[in-house]
Structures are given as structure tokens and as C-alpha cells.
Amino acid sequence: MMTRRTFLSAALAMVASGCTGEPTVSGVIPADPGLRPQADPGWDAWVAAFRPRAAAAGIPADVIDGAFRGAGFLPGVVERDRNQTEFRRSFEDYLAIVAPEAKVQAGRAAFARQRGTLAAIEARYGVPAEIVCAIWGVESNYGARRGDIPTISALSTLAYDGRRGAFFESQLLAAMRILQAGDVTAGRMVGSWAGAMGHTQFIPTSYLQSAVDFTGDGRRDIWGEDPTDALASAASYLAGAGWQRGGSWAVEDPAGNLTPDAGGPSFRTGPNFRVIKRYNNSDSYALGVGYLADRIAGGGPLRQGFGPDRYGLTIDQRQDLQRRLTASGFDTGGTDGVIGPNSRAAIAAFQASRGLPATGDPSPALLAML
């Protein structure tokens, strides 16, 4: 089943690409010039060729024209697509990113603000309010990071670029149908560079499948400041995927059937764990959502710790390493204990400054040196 995080596609029209950079839903044009629509003859030709295919699929000419008014090629999207790093994060690192204590506290505050809405959504769809709130937190940091990149431009760029073009084109057609229904204008249809949109980061096909107008205003609005429709749409998606009322997602258990990190916590997963994976087909994602949900609802941290990583460092030691590197003038970009590209670059720079091989690898010896 397609997840929401895949790229959209396509556009049409022989209209010229008026690449002025149409303001997003927040009125802000992306700061990165590579994420602002730009003129490109190849993209123009692709749009012209796509127009009859879109028309044949039942998209009216005025919708096509409106979708591409102000749209254009986004070189920054191509760059991000081609530079994706394929590696597996440890579950401990994943939790440090998606469910740190600060996000737990922010989630409890967001839950309190939306308590009535979340309760009404749970009553209708049977999905626990804390699960819906956790998805909101993981997907957009409770609405703070919905994305500001024009969806039509992003997805037509990805379709034109050619990698998985047929998929992107199907997503663009779905985006056009959203515009045709009047749920949003092309200028307000913004999201991530890969085409996921709104508070709950739906791709267009998932939107058409599951989005709902919970507020009753005649539009299924997942983009605006009010998260109500987006939260209800996430619950609708999970309900449609088979969420079992009253069923568990997972329980931390020494004899569990899933142990993501050797020596770390083990979980006995329930039927709803597989339903969360329909939203994003990843064990870490489903565990992260479930764990964050439990914490939002008042639960405590995991009982079983993770121990040292392959470099011999615990998460507390990795955080200490990051703090000390940054204090020494080698900025790691944060102190979450995750040794990602920024931390590795900082380590390599420090090593080079000391005349050491610039491996970028952390170690107890490096921590002691700092």
C-alpha cells in the first residue's frame, strides 16, 4: 500500500511557467532559491505533453491552468531526491529524534488544547485521541512544520525528472482532483519537498481516500491553522485500515516478539501496530508513534535501556560529546545524542584540528580528549 510520503506528479498546460514564486499558505516564499519555481524548457515541454493526459483523465482545463499558474521547475527538489542517504537508524536514535522529552511535553500541551476535538474524533472513528495526537507530532511537530513548498511545482518536477514518473503522475492527478473539488487553492496547496501535505502529511491519493470535513464548513482543510480536519482525516485513515477499537498497539515486554535493537527494549505487538504501519510501513515509525502516544497520555519512559552503541557510547555520553564539541567551536547542530551528518562533520573537523585522522567517528577516547 502506498504511504503518504511519496512524491506527487504532473502538470499540464501549454501555459508559460510564470515563475514568480507564489506565496504559500503562510504567505512565506521558501528561503531556498532552489525551492522557488524557476523557468526550465524541459519542464515546460513535459507540462505541455502532460496536458492531454490530464484532460483525458477528466481534469477540466480551468483546473489545469489554475494549478500551473505560477508553478515551475524546482531544482532543489531534484537535489533532495537524488541525495537521499540510505541507512538504517537504530531504534534508540529514531526515538531520540521523534519522541524526545521536549516533544512529549509539547504533545501534552497540544493534547490539552485540542482535548475536545480529539475526544469527538475518537468517538466517531474509534482511534484513541493520544494516537492521533502522536501522529500529528511525528508528522509535523504538532503543526509547526507543515511544509511551505508548492505541491504542484514539487510533484511536477519529480514527475518530469523521471524517477518513478508514473507514480508521481498519478499523485499529480489526485492533486488536481483535490483542486477541482474546491478544498484548497493551488497557492495554499503546499507541503514537503516530496509532496506530503498538511498537519498529518498526506499525499494526494491518501487525501482523496481518507480526508474528511470534520468541521462541517464544506472543505477538507488539512493545510490551515486549525488542525481539526487533518486530525480527523488521520483517524479516518487508520479506521479505514482496520483499527480495532479497544485493541492494543504494543506493550513493552521482555518476552516480546519485536526487539528493534539488540539488548534494548522488547515489545509484544498487537493488531493495531500493523494498522499504524499502514500509515508508514516501518517498525520504528509504528513504535515511535505508539511510544509518543503513551507518553502524551501520561505514561513514563521505556523500562529497558539501550546500553552503549557500536562505538561504545551511551546516549548520555553522545549528548555530552555533542555539547563539548559545540562548546569547543565545532557545532554539531544539536545535542540529541544522534550522531548524524552534522555531528560527524564536527567530529572530523575537531580531529583534523588535532592532527588526527578525520574519520568522523565518535569514541570514548574522543570524549575523554574533549
Residues annotated as part of the active site: 139
Instruction: Give DSSP secondary structure letters for 163-212.
Output: TTHHHHHHHHHHHHHHHHHTSS-TTT-EE-TTS-BTTTTB-HHHHHHH--
Q: What are phi and psi of 354, to 5 degrees?
A: -100, 5
Cα 190 from chain centroid (whole Å) = 13
* Cα separation, 144 vs 150, whole angstroms: 17
Nearest alpha-carbon partner for 125 in 239, 12, 14: 239
Nearest alpha-carbon partner for 235 in 197, 279, 294, 298: 279
Instruction: Give DSSP secondary structure letters for 261-320.
Output: STTS--EEE-HHHHHHHHHS--HHHHHHHHHHHHHHTT----SS-----TTS--HHHHHH
Q: Is 41 exposed, middle or buried (0-12, 13-18, 19+ CB in 10 A)?
A: exposed
